Structures are given as C-alpha cells and as structure tokens.
Structure 1
C-alpha cells in the first residue's frame, strides 16, 4: 500500500460554473452554520443576559451591563472557539498532506499529548510563564512528539494503522508522565485535569489577541506554500522533478503545523480530534467539489470547518447540560466524542489494509526443543517467584525472609501481620492482572492477525474502565462487586462495538486498530466527562484507578480475576491449535474444518472476560497485553501451547515488578502500577514498531 490519502480519480470535466457553484455552496453553508452557531453561542451563559439583550446590543438598545457581559465573558469564549478550530484544522490538514495519510492529525501524531506534557511539567515545578513563553514550551513538546511518531511510522505514508499505533504509543507514554505529574504535584497542577481535555474558558481577550496574529501569519505562509504542498502531496518524485525541495517543504510544514497546535493547546488545552475530523471531512468532499484538493482552497475551507465544529460542540454541550454545569465540562470532551464517532465510521468504510501478517516474532526460535522449553519455562517461573517474594518483602516497610516464614507459620508479630495482610493481596492482584492481560493480548494478536494489537489499543480496556468509572462516580457507595460487574459489561460493549464494526471489512487488522483507537478515545472522553460533571475537584481518586493501582486491594478483589483465569484458561488450552490456525489466514482453518466465526467469537469472549476482570481488579494497565505475548514469542516461537503459559508468567512478573517499583521508588508516596508499565512498555513497543518498518 502506498498511501491512504490519494488524489481522487480523474472525473469527467464538469462545467466551470458548476464546479464553482459547488465550492460556493459549501463555503456559504459553512459560513451560515458558523454564523448561526455564533449567534446562539453569544446568547448562552450564566448571567441573566438573554437573546433579546444580545440583539438589543447589536441594534443599539441594550440594557445596562449587557455589553460588559458579552464583551468580557461571552465574546472571548466564542473567539477562542473560532481560533482553536482554525488552528487545529489547519494543523491537521498540513500533517495529512505531508504524510499523505488521512489519519494524520495533532492527536494521532501525539502533538497534543507532547504539548500538554510540556505545559504540565512547567506548572508542576512551579515555573510561571507568559502566554508566548508557554506557547514556546508547548511547541517544543509537540514538535518532539510529532518527529518521533513520523520517524517510527515511516513518514506516515506506509499505512494508517502504523501511524495511529506509533502515535497512540507515544501519546500513552506522555499521558502516563502527565498523569504522574498530576498525581505527585496535585496542588501545583490543580485544575489542569479539566484543562487537559480542552476548555474554552478565557480570562478576557488577552489570549485571543496574543495568538490570533500568529495563526493569521501561519495561514498566510501556508497559502504561499500551497502549490509546493500540492506537489509534495502528489508524490516526492513528482515534486522533485518540478524543482521542489521536498525535505525543506516537509520540515517547514511540520514546524508550522506543530506551532498551530501548540498555540491551540496553550489557549484552550488539547481539544481532541478537531484536527483530524474537520480536514478529513473536507477531503472526503473533494470527489464532489474537485477544487478542494488544491491547498489554496483546502486550507481556508478546512479552517472554516474546524471553527464550525468547535462552536457547534460548545453550543451543544451548554444546551444539553446548562451553562452553569458546562463551565465544568471541557469542550474538548465533546469534540473527541464527535471525532471518535467519525473515525469509527471512516475506518468501517475505507479500504485501508492490505493482507494482514503474522507477528514479527512468530518466526523466531521455532526449533526450540521440548527439553529446552521446559528448562526455559522453569527459569521464567523461578524469576516470577523471585519477583513475587521481592514484592512481598519490599515497600515502605521492609521485611526479611524470616518475617515471611514467621507469618506463614502464624508466629509473626502484629506489625508484620499488618504489613503482610495489606501487601500480599496487592502482590497477588498484580500477578493475576498481568497474567490476565497477557493472555488476552496473545489471543487478540492472533485473532486480529496484528502483532501490535492489545486490549488497550483495541478499546476493550477503555470500555472496562468507563463501566467501572460510571459506578465509582455515580454510585460513590457502591461495593467492589458492582464495580467489577460494570467493568465487565463495559469491556463486553466495547469489544462488541469494535468487532461488529470491523466485520464489514472481514476483521482486517488495520480497520480493527483504527476502530479500536476510536473506541479508546471515545471512552476516555466519556470518563473525563463523568469526572468533571460529578467531582471535578477530586479527580485523584479516578486518576489513580485509571492508572492501574493495586492500592487498598484485599483478597476479595482477587476473586473476579481468579474466576476469569480458571474459566478461560481451559477454553484457551482446548482451542490452542485453533488459535494458531486463525492467526494464519481465513482459508487455512476453513479447509481444516474449523468454523472460523464461531472459533473467533469464543476466543474473543475469553479475551474480553480476562480484560474486564483485570480492569475490575486493579484498574487500567497499559501495554502488558502487548509486551508479554511478544516477548513470549521471541523466546519460545509462535505455538500457542507454549506462548500462553510463558506470556502469562511474563505478564504477571511485569505488573508485579511495576507495582514494586511504584511502591518503593518514592516511598512513602506511590506511583500506580499502570503508569510504570506504560513507561516501561512504551519503549519496547516503539522498538517493535521501528524494527518492523521494512
């Protein structure tokens, strides 16, 4: 596959008047929607100023105080919505063009996550910067993230799934760092959680006055570069033949796109998916409005579409929950939900995947003999036992092996008994959660035939997290079993949505990844919406749970994971040969008499049950379902009979080790295990992605 963003096929020439009429109708329609939304936007607010007062202000008959309310409170929010929509849409349009990939955007290239991390890091360490200084910090954070993602994805043109996977991995690592700072520096970063979802609240017009000239200048420069962007978008060889310096144009365009995204982040926080949805929608209209493929037309129309999208989202959220409540709801949550729906619909319809391939590690160590495999399995098991013992002994209070032996025999004192009663359930919970996620990841990778898939990237973990957070926030007195049931239900619903949507393209791996990314983004936005609506000033409880923490776990919390493993492992072992066959292709298992849909459904149900139980037990833990199966295949080959037990041991060891690090490094304070696994797993994932670039 060369590109997922190719110019539309040459169509029969329509009369110039008809073509201009279509473009004029599109621009007129967008302007009409934008003006109508702006009028409604100005009538919404917490003060007593209504639509009649605003109209009176326009025609010179306003009541006293109306002008102050409109100019000082409502107009800044409206102008911020326009500016953010324009900046993000221009950024996304440019990134899509230079990567020739319709999925490129400030979100999928981790620009927003990098800029957000930079801003939070500055705030956490008590550094106060002016707006332009903050913009510079955000610019370098976003530029570093975008550069890394583009390098790992081969410039973006090698496939949408690769671009999204690289961007998602980088964003998850940066989100983990950001969440760590929010938890460790709660006072210094208070209020940045809601801002981190994209909030249009403004303190006067200073921010708009600062960044509006910057956005205008960048737009003018991009329009001047329009012809060169057209040629680069068509192909590097074609552009070079016409005298265009492709490298210079690409570097300049990336820097301008990141600058636009950084300005939007500083002004309103990371407003999600505007940079993806608005320009992609405009590009999809190019088949009926052919002149849209020219950047001198595309860029202004995309900017207008982005402004309309952000205004509409802000109007909608205030109409649904009221202006007072809407002050606590980030507008970026609504745009992210819109964008997730758009991405899922787009991934269902676009043919963006070639033939799926087996995991890169599938061909390694295929000749490992039975005796060597048993020795390796014993070594891994001993390492796991060692980590479990270390996790039991180490922490804020250090124990000795003698203390452990006394506790086992019932001869320990009250202090040792108290420590063990609190610590042992945490260690066992980490092991069970890691084993569950590793098994789920191995199954999902084989069924989807995507070596980089895992429960988190496919949206299953996000669905489970959303289900649990619904209960935590709406029913604060709920018990563990209600939370566990909600997590399981959320995982089932998310998995059903992902795989039912991907069925249209025969479960093509790229489609699965993109749809899963959309579900993950949508559930993340819904979680943020619940937190900000129900308890915006105490987000730490949900942040800790969403980061995968074993804190406060008791033996009761282990039951769902233990039951899930006891139920699913016999099924997986029985279907181990089927699991190998479905990872090859569609035809081979059918020729051997396997009922592929039924087998795939049974395997995916096992993966969903394991994921839901793990999330219910310890919260959201990232990358274990990716790292452990890959490492297992690298050690023992691709046969599921060997991969499953090794992956389970490695997964349990990884989470237990992450929990130990989180409890020990900054004791008596603690880092959630999920943050540590994200920070450890992301480099491994990026290395896998880099290794498979060819």
Structure 2
C-alpha cells in the first residue's frame, strides 16, 4: 500500500483550474443543461424495448391507467433505466476520484484493472456453484477490485510515474485477470452460461432487488466523496503544499481509493463491467473548463462526472437499441458501445499526449554484463530446453507415447493408432515452438523501438486485429477452414497495426503515443469481437473464446508454414539491425548523430515485428506475455546487446509456449486448457515482479 500513497508530480491534464473566482452562473448553467440532457435521454430510454409499448402508451399513464404499459414500465424498463442511472453515477464519481488521486488523466476503473478484478471474483463464485445475494456479491467484487487496484497503483507508483506506465501496468494486470476469468468461462461453460455477455456490461435487470440493496452503498460512497471534495482540491495543489496546509495525504488517498473501488464494485455487481465510463465522464467534464471556470473544483467535478456518466451509459443504450432494435438491448451488452466510445476518447487523448521522456527507460537498464563464454553457455542451455520442450510435447497429451514410438513413427513403422496421434500432434508442437520464437523476437524489437521495457506486440493492437478477423470469419463462415482463418487473422493483424501506426504518426513517431493508441485499438477491437459473438453466435462462445485464448488445437502443417517463412525472412532482418536496435534503446539523438535514419528504422523494425506477430497469431491464436517475458528474461541472462538477446529470447519463447501447450493438453485430458491462458498464468507473476523491481526507478528523481 505504500506505493499506492506515494507522492509524485502532477500531470497537466489533471491539475486544478487556475486560481480565481468560480463563475457561478456558468456552473449553474452547465448543471442545468446536463440535467436537461440526462432527462431527455432517460425519457427516450423509457420508450424503447422489445414490447409494443411506446411513448404514447406511457404518456397515457399520466392521465389514466393502462395495465399493459404499467406492467412493462415497472417490470422491465424502469429497472433498466435505474440500473443505468446508478452505474453511471457510480462510475463517473469513481473515475473522477481515481484520476484526481493518481493525477493522471487516464486513470479509471478500467485502466486500474478494478473492473477485471471484480469481474473475476463474481465469475469465480458462479463457476463453483456459489449463488450470492447482491450485497455479499458486491462485497466479493469489492475485494477483487480493491486487490487489483492496489496492485496496479503500487506497480505504477501510485499512478503518478507516467501515463504509459500506468496503462501498461493496468493492461497487463487486467489481461492476467481476464485470462483467469476466461479459463473459468471455458472450463465451467454450463455454470457460467450468460456471464460472457454480462462480463461486458449488460443493463438487463429482472427486478429491482439488486438495485435496492446496492443503491444505499452507492449513495453513501458518493456522499463521502463529496464531503472529501475540499481535501481533493488541496491534494491537487501538490503533496508538499497539502501537507503544509495540514492535510493527511496518505490517509486521504487511501480513503478516496477505497470509496472509488466500492463504487466500481457496486457497478460491476449490478450490471457487469461497463467499460470506459469512468475514463470518459471526467475527461468530458474537464473539457468544459474554458467555458465554465471552476469546473475542476471537486464538489463541482464529481457530480458533473456522475451526470456525464449517466448520459454516456443511457445514451449508449439508446443508441444501441435505436440502431439494432429492441431485442439488441437484451442480447448485446451496453458496455460494448461504451467501450468503443471510450476507445475513441482514449485514442484522441493519446494523440494529444507528449512523450513522458524520463518515464521511458531503456529496456536493458537493469541487464547484467556477461562474457561471450557465458552467452554461448546460455544459448546452449536454451537449445537443450527447446529440444526437451519439443520431445515432451510429442510424448505427452491425452494419449501418452514412448520415445521409441516416436522413433518408429519417424521411420514409418508405427501402427494406425499411434500414427494418427503423432500425425495430429507434431503440427501442434511445431506451431507452439515457432509461434513462441516469433512472438519473442517481435517483443524484443517492440521494446527496443518503443524504448519501453513494459511494451509487447499485443499492446500495439495487432492481436486484437487478428482476433477480430478470425472471430468474424468463424461467425459468418462457420465452415471456414483452418487455413482461411489463419489468413484472415493475419490480414486483420496487419491492418490493425497500419491503423495504429498511422494514428500515432504526428510529425514523427512518439513511442508513448504509439503504446497508448495501441491500447485503445486493443480495447476497441475486443469490444467489436464481443459484439460479434453475442449478436450472431451467442450459444457458441467457447469456440471463439478458445481461439482468443491461444490454442494449437487442430493445427495443420499448412498453417504452421507461414510462421516458419516469417521467421526465415524477418529474423535475419532483425539480427542485421541489431546495432540500430542497440542505439534506439538509448535516446533519439544518439542514433541521428551516428547516421541512423530514425523514422525509417522504426518503421521497418515495427513492420517486421507486426508481420512476425500476425503470422504467430494466425497459427496459434492470441497468446500474450510471451513478447514481454522472453525478452526480459533474455536480457537478465545475457545483457542488453541485441546480438545476444535475440537468439536467447527466441529460444525462451519457443520453450515457454511449447511447454504451456503441452501442459494445457495434459493436465485435464481429454479436455484442454488453451496455451495462452497457461502462458498468462506463468507470465503474470514474472511481470508483477518486474514492475515491482522497477518501481523505485519510476518514483526516483525525474
């Protein structure tokens, strides 16, 4: 918790408004207009639904009785409206509070993994057959969300070590928690049916029971934050000034964080995690500062953010049902629309973002200096580990074979049963090994170019693009072959990277901006994937979830071939650019002084990384953490020079994915755990340790 409360410098986007008189008439006008817009949206919201009851029927209730209209209003539409109102207020207040204490414009229940932690807690209870009323479920969600927020804030120095570090710490933690959630959804498909759509934020309510239990909790937390508004104003002046003025900074941060997580957990318990409302609402309110001076005062900012949250939630629901029809409000989570809106806001904010400079550190900053002999020893051990991983992969599975069976199979002397098993198994092992190597090389390249030790290929939107292409084909062409799925996934990955790179280019490539826009594209892509699954194939979610979790199931030799070709073509290119990569990790000026064409080198290196990632994803699906963990482990072993890091990272990545795939095929055979989930469970502890080790640097002098 100490790092959660650690002092640091404020970011410009969340500083208080300039000193001066608050324009009371303008503030009142803003409140009046916001409430008016909210009432209009709420009125429209009440007229939508699956029944034939429309606006005229509801108006007749004011002058008479209409049993059908009254029944529809009370049983369906009013609970949905009130749920949207409650979570809009809760998430708006929570987002504004978290941004203020972190002094970071991108802090929110989503980027701090609060929603992911609360979601995992709820799904875990359902998976093990535990049925809880609203309040106990809310308490469970609170514990999950609070643990996730404490971890992310601690790892990112209270959120104040830089926007990019906060996003990367939060996204990696959310990815790990989401992997565990997805594992439970796959393994306990019957017990958790319907929770996939709910896990993206659904306003569907069967009655008012949960709302009546959670509404007092939300009201108390909102009231407590309003009472703390003056303290937050003082805290915004800086930790030293606040301390001089008599404010207990540590206690204030702790109380506000707990209250924000309580609000987020209540919202998740009520409707599931509705994405990015807590990010967008305070950002929109702060944009009003030029026309309404004083809007940054927290007793104004907090309620306006709550009202903006209500408009975002209800407006997204109105838009969804207006475009897709009344039934879409039942089938498609409202959180899909809010996430798309939030991703657009995040990309817009990222395009205005300037590089954090000192918050980006060379990825080899802590790398040990090793001798050439030690490097050769590590490479030899890596080769042995990879060969062992391949042999174990061929031996183990739902049917175990002996080493002699493999020898006989190679010589064509096995019986039909073993021949069938090994013919099906070797493409899977090859896909895992080659994809792991490709992802590791891509991760090494991305970290060097972005000069950020926390970056990885997936954060550039590549995996989301590949996942979108594959799920779209699985949804609209169910009989599509494996090769077609791989091709479309690869095309989606390349297009996503092109869009992210183009959006990040603004008179040059900003590495921090590239990461933030990639994160927004990743979130937006996953929202579209959710929409496709729940709108067009809601009873077959396991099919898409398995692919999105990274699986070698059903892989063929033809599907492995593109990865092998990509490795043969792009690995020599990356190795040839090892000197340029070494220089790119230093700063922007040194490469230019030494004659390196910086922008062209970055483009070529990132394109190679994107192609390696796209072919790997097309072969094995979405596997995270390999491109993050393997390069770090390699640098820890052999130092920061890329001529040494690249081969060691490739071997470590190959062994990691191969062993994860074997473990997933064996532990619950004949059922299988996707390899990507195993990798996430292995990679998460390493990543947490990595962030914890580097937190001192993040909080040091800048």
Coarse TM-score class (shorter-chain normalised): over 0.9
8 Å Cα contact 1:448/1:507 also seen in 2 = no
2:447 matches 1:445: yes
How far apart in 1 are the matches of 2:189 and 2:524?
Answer: 26
For residue 32 of structure 1, what is the aligned residue in structure 2?
Answer: 36
8 Å Cα contact 2:363/2:452 also seen in 1 = no
SS of equivalent to 2:9: coil
2:132 matches 1:125: no
For residue 10 of structure 2, what is the aligned residue in structure 1?
Answer: 3
The Cα offsets for residues 507-552 of structure 1, whole Å up to 9 and x where unpaired, read as 3333222222111111111110110011111100000000001111
Q: Relative to structure 2, which stretch is displaced further, 101-110 or 203-212?
A: 203-212
SS of equivalent to 1:201: coil
The Cα offsets for residues 335-372 of structure 1, whole Å up to 9 and x where unpaired, read as 01100110110011033512464434356343422x43
How far apart in 2 are the matches of 1:385 and 1:255?
Answer: 49
5+ residue gaps, structure 1, are none
8 Å Cα contact 2:664/2:673 also seen in 1 = yes
2:289 matches 1:286: yes
8 Å Cα contact 1:505/1:511 also seen in 2 = no
For residue 639 of structure 1, what is the aligned residue in structure 2?
Answer: 641
C-alpha displacement at 1:632, in angstroms? 1.4
SS of equivalent to 1:285: coil
2:588 matches 1:575: no
Structure 1 residues 26 and 564, CA, compared in 2 at 3 Å: closer, same or farther? same
For residue 540 of structure 1, what is the aligned residue in structure 2?
Answer: 542
For residue 564 of structure 1, what is the aligned residue in structure 2?
Answer: 566
Which of residues 9, 23, 26 is equivalent to 2:27? 23
The Cα offsets for residues 642-666 of structure 1, whole Å up to 9 and x where unpaired, read as 2222111111111001111111222
What is the 5 A alignment of 1:383-422? 383-422=385-424
How far apart in 2 are the matches of 1:242 and 1:596?
Answer: 48
The Cα offsets for residues 119-159 of structure 1, whole Å up to 9 and x where unpaired, read as 01111111111111111111111111111111111111111
2:267 matches 1:264: yes
Q: Relative to structure 2, which stretch is displaced further, 383-392 or 282-291?
A: 282-291
For residue 60 of structure 2, what is the aligned residue in structure 1?
Answer: 56
8 Å Cα contact 2:201/2:334 also seen in 1 = yes
2:343 matches 1:336: no
2:88 matches 1:85: yes
For residue 210 of structure 2, what is the aligned residue in structure 1?
Answer: 207
For residue 683 of structure 1, what is the aligned residue in structure 2?
Answer: 685
C-alpha displacement at 1:228, in angstroms? 1.4
8 Å Cα contact 1:445/1:453 also seen in 2 = yes
SS of equivalent to 1:323: coil
Which of residues 110, 114, 126 is equivalent to 1:107? 110
C-alpha displacement at 1:393, in angstroms? 0.5
SS of equivalent to 2:158: helix
8 Å Cα contact 1:77/1:201 also seen in 2 = yes
Structure 1 residues 7 and 362, CA, compared in 2 at 3 Å: closer, same or farther? closer
How far apart in 2 are the matches of 1:657 and 1:316?
Answer: 46
Q: Relative to structure 2, which stretch is displaced further, 114-123 or 579-588?
A: 579-588
Q: Relative to structure 2, which stretch is displaced further, 153-162 or 186-195?
A: 153-162
Which of residues 250, 258, 265 is equivalent to 1:247? 250
User: How many residues align structurally?
Assistant: 689
Structure 1 residues 128 and 445, CA, compared in 2 at 3 Å: closer, same or farther? same
For residue 94 of structure 1, what is the aligned residue in structure 2?
Answer: 97
How far apart in 2 are the matches of 1:618 and 1:588?
Answer: 38
How far apart in 2 are the matches of 1:91 and 1:10?
Answer: 20
Which of residues 124, 138, 141 is equivalent to 1:138? 141
C-alpha displacement at 1:256, in angstroms? 1.1
Compute the TM-score of the two structures, normalised by the length of structure 1.
Answer: 0.96
How far apart in 2 are the matches of 1:691 and 1:570?
Answer: 33
- For the aligned residue pairs, the C-alpha RMSD in angstroms reads 1.8
2:170 matches 1:167: yes
SS of equivalent to 1:317: helix
8 Å Cα contact 2:15/2:103 also seen in 1 = no
C-alpha displacement at 1:217, in angstroms? 1.6
Which of residues 337, 343, 361 is equivalent to 2:364? 361
For residue 473 of structure 2, what is the aligned residue in structure 1?
Answer: 471
What is the 5 A alignment of 1:518-533? 518-533=520-535
2:200 matches 1:197: yes
Q: Relative to structure 2, which stretch is displaced further, 514-523 or 230-239?
A: 230-239
For residue 438 of structure 2, what is the aligned residue in structure 1?
Answer: 436
8 Å Cα contact 2:630/2:652 also seen in 1 = yes
Structure 1 residues 242 and 355, CA, compared in 2 at 3 Å: closer, same or farther? closer
Structure 1 residues 136 and 543, CA, compared in 2 at 3 Å: closer, same or farther? same
Structure 1 residues 5 and 85, CA, compared in 2 at 3 Å: closer, same or farther? farther
8 Å Cα contact 2:469/2:491 also seen in 1 = yes
2:47 matches 1:43: yes
SS of equivalent to 1:397: coil
Q: Relative to structure 2, which stretch is displaced further, 73-82 or 566-575?
A: 566-575
C-alpha displacement at 1:375, in angstroms? 2.9
8 Å Cα contact 1:271/1:335 also seen in 2 = yes
5+ residue gaps, structure 2, are 1-7, 698-702
8 Å Cα contact 1:8/1:286 also seen in 2 = no
Which of residues 589, 608, 611 is equivalent to 1:609? 611
For residue 382 of structure 2, what is the aligned residue in structure 1?
Answer: 380
Which of residues 599, 620, 628 is equivalent to 1:626? 628
C-alpha displacement at 1:168, in angstroms? 1.1
What is the 5 A alignment of 1:298-313? 298-313=301-316
8 Å Cα contact 2:355/2:511 also seen in 1 = no
C-alpha displacement at 1:90, in angstroms? 0.8
How far apart in 1 are the matches of 2:432 and 2:87?
Answer: 42
The Cα offsets for residues 248-298 of structure 1, whole Å up to 9 and x where unpaired, read as 222211111111111100110000000111012212333442322211111
Q: Relative to structure 2, which stretch is displaced further, 244-253 or 625-634?
A: 244-253
